Amino acid sequence: MKRIYAIVSALAVICITQVACTSSVQTADEEEDVKAALTTFVRAFENGDLDVMGASFAENSSTFPRAIMSNDVTSSIRASEYRRVKGLDPQMRQLIAGWREGAVSPPYMSLAPKDLEVLLFIDAALVTFHLERGESLSMRTFVLAKEQDEWKIVHLHASNVVGSE
């Protein structure tokens, strides 16, 4: 009986080890795929490529438009501009339209995500990072879902804190 228990225990350890090793390799690959999908979106934003940006979103996606928090309130805040919207943030579209009206050619800006963190869940990923510009801090949260072997953005939450110093 002890021998059977020892054999079963050894087999269990071997199986668990194999699953853990395979799972961690798969997780590393999945994490790289998520980062690649996010990088595609970020580079498209820098270049004002609305087609690629839109293709990065799932059909049923939503966005909380970027809210700007500051002690220096120069104009009234219209809450309707910050409610959840379907798909790509209209503020992003307005920003890109403004870039295109100027005589500058792409890329219009350079974004360097800091403290990028990817949390994987079977066919979903939560990605957070921030962007710094002087005293301003921009925080981003993306939720991605794997659809037909492609990672698509299903939710984006953007908020900014503007320093007043």
Where exactly are the structural domains of the chain?
A: 2-161
DSSP H helices, the chain, are: 2-46, 50-55, 90-101
Give the span between the Cα atoms of 162 and 72, in whole angstroms: 9
What is the pLDDT averaged over residues 109-135? Answer: 94
What is the CATH number assigned to the segment(s) 2-161? 3.10.450.50
- pLDDT tier at 17, thresholds 50, 70, 90: very low
Give the span between the Cα atoms of 47 and 159, in whole angstroms: 21
User: Mean pLDDT for the chain?
Assistant: 82
pLDDT in tens, 22-81: 344 557 899 999 999 999 999 999 999 999 999 999 999 998 887 766 666 666 777 777
Structure tokens at 163: 């320093």
At residue 106, the pLDDT reads 93
DSSP state of 110: -
Per mean pLDDT, which range of 11-15, 83-87, 157-161 is the poorest? Answer: 11-15
Give the span between the Cα atoms of 59 and 137, in whole angstroms: 29
What is the pLDDT averaged over residues 117-141? Answer: 93
Q: Is the pLDDT confidence value at 84 over 70?
A: yes
All residues at 6 or more sequence positions from 128 whose CB lies less than 8 Å from its CB, including other chains:
115, 116, 117, 139, 140, 141, 142
What letters, b where the CB count within 10 A reaches 16 and e where it falls short, cover 82-91?
eeebebbbeb
Global pTM value: 0.77
Task: Evaluate whether 62 touches 85 at the Cβ level (below 8 Å).
Answer: yes
